[in-house]
Structures are given as structure tokens and as C-alpha cells.
Amino acid sequence: MKTYPIALELTVWFDLGLSQYEVVVNEASKISIKRTDDVLHTRELSAAEVDSLLAAIEAVRVPIAQELPANPENKASSSYELIIESAHFSLEFNWENLDVEANRSNAFESVTKLASLVQSLDLDH
């Protein structure tokens, strides 16, 4: 069976800061860490890291968000945009920490685990 590259992009806004992680999984898998379009560093991923990423991507389930009641005190401290693309599919997820906290069904668990894994690959973080 032919395998195709997977590209993953995670953008995190945390306390008004912006971090971008671009991951490519193919023959020469790598991660690039950016801050506001400036590449801070890039490194190759180990086979174990690639296996962990693939397992986390395979576990992704589409989260269903519940509407939060309007409350001016509800201010997100972080928000996320996760894009996963290959030759056969493209998925995009957007969520805030408030979405995760308000959702009791753990609907965001698979995407937050993948986002956490990507952030943990930034060894200089």
C-alpha cells in the first residue's frame, strides 16, 4: 500500500502570544517552530515521535462544541487552530480553552492530546 505525506499545522494563541508548529510526516519527517512567521528552529523527528504522531492523528475524533452561555466574564486565555492534511483528507479544528472546560463529554480530548503532543515536540519550549 502506498503511503502519503501528512502535513500538520498547529497555531496557538496563548496570553496574546502566537506560536506556530508545522509538522511534516514523510520520508524525512520534521517539525518547524515559528513565532509570528519567524522560524525559530527546525529539526528532524525520530521514528518514535513519528509513530506517536500517527497514533494521535488516527485517534482524532471530530469534537462537537456546545454553545457557551453569553457571559462577559468568559474570556479565553488560549485558542487553537489545528489543520491536518494529506492527499486523501483535510481536517481543521478551532477551539478555545473555554470550549474544553465547558464540555463535559471530553469531545475535545483527541484534538487536545494531539495539540499537546505537537507542543511537546518543541524541545526548546
For position 16, what pLDDT does the model report? 66
Predicted local distance difference test score (pLDDT) of residue 88 = 85
Tell me the sheet residues that pair with 21.
10, 33
The residues pairing with 95 across neighbouring beta strands, listed in sequence order, are 80
pLDDT tens figures, 60-79:
998 877 676 767 777 788 89
Tens-place pLDDT, residues 22-51: 999 988 899 888 876 677 888 999 999 999
Domains and CATH numbers, the chain: 6-120 (3.30.1560.10)
pTM of the model: 0.83
Q: Would you place residue 1 in the very low, low, confident or very high pLDDT band (cuts 50, 70, 90)?
A: very low
Read off the C-alpha cell for 34. Answer: 515559528
Q: What is the phi/psi pair of residue 78, to 5°?
A: -150, 150
